[in-house]
Structure 1
Amino acid sequence: MSAQGPTRWQEAVIERIAPLTPRIVSVMLKADLARHVAGQHLDVRLTAPDGYAAQRSYSIASAPGQPVELIIEKLDDGEVSPYFHDIAQAGDAIEVRGPLGGHFIWRAEDGGPVLLVAGGSGIAPLMAMVRDWARAAAGLPMMLVCSARTWDELPFGEALERLEASRADFRFVAAITRGPGHRPADRTQRLDAPALRELITQWGHVPRHVFVCGSNRFVEGVTRGLADAALAAGMIRTERYGGAE
Structure 2
Amino acid sequence: MADPSTGLPWLTATVSELRAETATAKTIAFEVADWPGHLAGQHLDIRLTAEDGYVAQRSFSLASPAGHSATIEITVQQVADGEVSPFLLEELRLGDQIELRGPIGGYFAWTPRSARPLMLIAGGSGVVPLMAMLRTRRIAEDHGQARLLYSSRSLDQILYRTELDQLSATPFPPAVIHTLTRGTPPDWAGEHGRIDKPMLARQAIAASEEPEIFVCGPTPFVESVADHLLTLGHAEARIRTERFGPTGEAR
CA contact (8 A) 1:149 1:176 kept: yes
After superposing the two structures, state which structure 1 stretch, 160-169 or 147-156, moved more.
Answer: 160-169
Alpha-carbon distance between aligned partners in 1 of 2:143 and 2:187, rounded to the nearest angstrom: 25
SS in 1 for 2:228: helix
Alpha-carbon spacing, 1:177–1:221, altered in 2? closer, same or farther (3 Å): same
Structure 1 counterpart of 2:3: none
Structure 1 counterpart of 2:230: 227
SS in 2 for 1:110: coil
Alpha-carbon distance between aligned partners in 2 of 1:156 and 1:146, rounded to the nearest angstrom: 11
Identical pairs, percent: 38
After superposing the two structures, state which structure 1 stretch, 72-81 or 226-235, moved more.
Answer: 226-235
Alpha-carbon distance between aligned partners in 2 of 1:226 and 1:133, rounded to the nearest angstrom: 24
Alpha-carbon spacing, 1:182–1:88, altered in 2? closer, same or farther (3 Å): farther
Gaps of 5+ in 2: 1-5
Match of 1:243 among 227, 246, 250: 246
After superposing the two structures, state which structure 1 stretch, 177-186 or 7-16, moved more.
Answer: 177-186
TM-score scaled by length of structure 2: 0.90
Structure 2 counterpart of 1:55: 57
Alpha-carbon deviations, 1:120-140, whole Å to 9, x = none? 111111011001111214321
Alignment of 1:134-149 (within 5 A): 134-149=138-153
Alpha-carbon deviations, 1:81-114, whole Å to 9, x = none? 0001111111110000001101000001333200
CA contact (8 A) 2:207 2:233 kept: no
Alpha-carbon distance between aligned partners in 2 of 1:199 and 1:115, rounded to the nearest angstrom: 10
* Number of aligned positions between the proteins: 240
Alpha-carbon spacing, 1:6–1:39, altered in 2? closer, same or farther (3 Å): farther
Structure 1 counterpart of 2:160: 156
Alpha-carbon distance between aligned partners in 2 of 1:166 and 1:109, rounded to the nearest angstrom: 17
TM-score scaled by length of structure 1: 0.92
Alignment of 1:53-202 (within 5 A): 53-65=55-67, 66=69, 67-180=71-184, 185-200=189-204
Alpha-carbon deviations, 1:156-179, whole Å to 9, x = none? 111111111334441001111112
Alpha-carbon distance between aligned partners in 1 of 2:199 and 2:239, rounded to the nearest angstrom: 17
CA contact (8 A) 1:6 1:99 kept: no
Structure 2 counterpart of 1:39: 41
CA contact (8 A) 1:6 1:100 kept: no
Q: RMSD value over aligned CA atoms?
A: 2.0
Alpha-carbon distance between aligned partners in 1 of 2:163 and 2:139, rounded to the nearest angstrom: 15
